[in-house]
Amino acid sequence: MGEHRRVLDLLGPYVQDSLESGEEQEVRDHLRHCEACQSEERDLREVHEELSDFASLAEAPPPDLKTRVTAGLPRRGSSRIPLFAVAAAILAVLVFLSLLYVPDLFVQDTVAAATLEATELAPQAGGELRVKANDPNAQATLEVWDLPRTKSDEYYELWFGNGEGRISAGTFTVDAEGQSTLDMAAPERVGEYQRVGITLEKFPKEPRMDSAKVVLGGELQES
């Protein structure tokens, strides 16, 4: 095999810096006078660097993640039972259950609730908060009334708090009557929080839950 051909074959490991010293020196010597190999080496080095970037970004996921992903896929086209038969069966079951459990069938259980009491900042205001289990995240339904309308640079923020700190559950504004009813995402471990509060915040300042700005507050009671 000629030197040129041999060096060409070694250029891959060369750009990877994985040749032993003797071969590396041989390639280096050849590159000094071979323009074709110099060009090839530049191209290989470029793709080597892109591959290295790719390798540094990619991470091996937990082995069981694939099972979890595929288990969560909605099935389709795999049923041998006609769709209309499945739909009819489901409908029949729903009708039967609805006769037995109409009030409870479509209503998720409330796991915690709080009556929100006014502070002197909004003495007429009030509110109710209900937290429902809704896997994977709990959901909070908030209803407030008689809150002062916010200015263009203001908004309200709902907080869950405990002895260690507070966590935001989202922001909102109210209508012309000072009312709002909305669904918000509750903290993942909502059982760890005992208090809820609503503060008046102002753009662009970072929100703070100091007591001076709390317009509504209450204790979370487990249902």
Residues engaged in binding another protein (CB under 8 A): 8-13, 15-16, 18-19, 43-44, 46-48, 50-55, 57-62, 65-66, 68-70, 72-78, 165-171, 185, 187, 206-210
* 10 vs 182, beta carbon nearer another protein: 10
How far, CA to CA in Å, does 206 sit from each of 8, 166, 171, 209? 60, 14, 13, 10
How is residue 63 annotated by DSSP? T
Nearest to another protein of 57, 100 (CB atom): 57
Backbone angles phi, psi at 195, to 5 degrees: -125, 155
Distance (Å, whole) CA 177 – CA 69:
46
Total length of the chain = 223
| Cα→Cα distances 123→44, 120, 181, Å | 72, 5, 19
Asked whether the beta carbons of 219 and 194 are under 8 A apart, the reply is: yes
* Element (DSSP H or E) covering residue 112: strand 110-118
Q: How far is the CB of 100 from another protein (least distance, A)?
A: 34
CB of 197 to another protein, least distance (A): 12
Residue 185: CB minimum distance to another protein, A: 7
> Minimum CB separation from another protein for residue 101, in Å?
31
Task: Look at residues 212, 214, 183 and name the one whose alpha carbon lies nearest to residue 198.
Answer: 214
The nearer residue to another protein, 57 or 176, going by C-beta atoms, is 57
CB of 163 to another protein, least distance (A): 12
C-beta closer to another protein: residue 56 or 106: 56
Of 123 and 136, the one with the shorter C-beta distance to another protein is 136
